[in-house]
Structure 1
């Protein structure tokens, strides 16, 4: 009886891969890696570019949304003003936006609007001759009339046109500069009486009692000024200025950057169509990075549409 001869182990398994096979495998791997690199590299670059674009869009959208909300929530557009027929430059298209603080804001939750400086339940009803109470002509630190000069004139010159208190709050363009009610005196409506002449403004049965500067007939004068929210450029940074909560006057405010790398900031006060009382503001904001990425956003909002 013959015993089956045991099979000898494969010499190939003992020896492993030959040098030629190893080199061939490495060559194939190199080709595959190079091919993948040609695909992965551009894909990663495209992903990074998309991420930068998305970030830029988010930054621009945040800033535009902030300004649009401020316009919709305000009772008064301060800047830009309407074009002045005697100037050779535009006042209706500017690189600044200023509005009255939203009357619904109550940041300290004390039950009174932040814009109700004297906490009497009424808002912006008793300005002084410096209507925003910041001790400067117009808005402190801002070129209100677009002539290249900042805070020129006296503190009673709210529109920086060289005249004081020449446009009372009566719904008329008293000084013929295209803007209405932009430069009142401490007697806001210019009638020479406390409050509205011949009217019991505060409901205490007395008529025209007190000082002519006491526009709400409450016994105090100039105690509820115009609180302004301002958007302006500091170099290529878009800034937001907000009145401080509980401010003693208009000099107390805080400024924060809301967009960087601004290449265009334009605010236009649109001329209403005949018979249309709605006042519209168009905002353009473009951001451009040093890498060459850019985004341009536009928004049009109606002043006071959520009041």
Structure 2
């Protein structure tokens, strides 16, 4: 009787040890699966955010008729992108393009000497020429901030219309869009909003197409999630493609 009880106890201990080993293995597998699922989820979220941001940028670039930044003379990548507000955009549905500031049915037909009508050289608050300084042209009529006035209209009319700039740039970990308000009173009447978070890099490169009528850029966006997952996405966009 005593021998039988001893054997049963040993068997119980062995079974408990085996169960502990199995449970430990299962715990390790489940932990790995959770970690893998977390990585995949973060990657999917980053991809979604990058796709939405690039699609927003594409809508503005491909709907526009004018690439403002990077300048034509810019070599290499920039950290800012600016285009003129697309002439087909009518956000309030009044029958006039948002970029038609004087409501005469023609967009950007009567520009002032300060083409963006914002009181700054180039686009106010933006480093147009990539020299590390914003608004450092020789005057507010230095429309590309390059130190000359050659791009300003020789004889502006009433100057009742102006180029409404849409600007994309990164501040910290956010990619921002600067968009003119509906019916702006001048070029300083705009709203800035984030279109992507977790951004670690934003670069824009002007593409040499060999055709002066074509304006193309390559936009690259890099996002890094809280868990350390990183991804880069890029698109080549042509001004006026839509």
TM-score for both structures, normalised by structure 2: 0.88
Please state if 1:125 is matched with 2:109: yes
Residue of structure 1 equivalent to 2:192: 255
Residue of structure 2 equivalent to 1:201: none
Residue of structure 2 equivalent to 1:279: 215
Instruction: Tell me the distance in 2 between the aligned counterparts of 1:285 and 1:35.
Output: 40
Residue of structure 2 equivalent to 1:236: 173
Assess if the C-alpha contact under 8 Å between 1:237 and 1:257 holds in 2.
yes
CA deviations over 1:145-165 (Å, ceiling 9, x no partner): 11111111321111112222x
Residue of structure 1 equivalent to 2:5: none
Please state if 1:223 is matched with 2:160: yes
Please state if 1:45 is matched with 2:35: yes
Quote the offset at 1:237 in angstroms. Answer: 2.0
Please state if 1:58 is matched with 2:26: no
Please state if 1:305 is matched with 2:208: no
Instruction: Tell me the distance in 2 between the aligned counterparts of 1:92 and 1:23.
Output: 70
Residue of structure 2 equivalent to 1:11: none
Residue of structure 2 equivalent to 1:173: none
Select the structure that is richer in helix.
2
CA deviations over 1:221-254 (Å, ceiling 9, x no partner): 1111101100012133211000001111111000
Instruction: Tell me the distance in 2 between the aligned counterparts of 1:92 and 1:60.
Output: 22
Superposed CA RMSD? 2.1
Q: Which runs of 5+ in 1 are unaligned?
A: 1-17, 84-89, 167-182, 188-212, 215-220
SS of the equivalent of 2:187 reads coil
SS of the equivalent of 2:25 reads helix
Matching residue within 80, 91, 107 for 1:107:
91
Assess if the C-alpha contact under 8 Å between 2:142 and 2:152 holds in 1.
no
Assess if the C-alpha contact under 8 Å between 1:127 and 1:186 holds in 2.
no
SS of the equivalent of 1:146 reads coil
Quote the offset at 1:20 in angstroms. Answer: 7.0
The number of residues matched between the two structures is: 234
Instruction: Tell me the distance in 1 between the aligned counterparts of 2:140 and 2:212.
Output: 34
Matching residue within 217, 223, 231 for 1:295:
231
Instruction: Tell me the distance in 2 between the aligned counterparts of 1:103 and 1:161.
Output: 26
Matching residue within 13, 19, 36 for 2:26:
36
TM-score for both structures, normalised by structure 1: 0.71
Residue of structure 2 equivalent to 1:75: 65
SS of the equivalent of 1:69 reads helix
Assess if the C-alpha contact under 8 Å between 1:91 and 1:145 holds in 2.
no
Stretches of 4+ aligned residues off by more than 6 angstroms: 18-22
Q: Which runs of 5+ in 2 are unaligned?
A: 1-7
Instruction: Tell me the distance in 2 between the aligned counterparts of 1:243 and 1:91.
Output: 28
SS of the equivalent of 2:170 reads strand
Select the structure that is richer in strand.
2
Specify the structure having the higher radius of gyration (Cα).
1
Quote the offset at 1:255 in angstroms. Answer: 0.5
Assess if the C-alpha contact under 8 Å between 2:39 and 2:227 holds in 1.
no
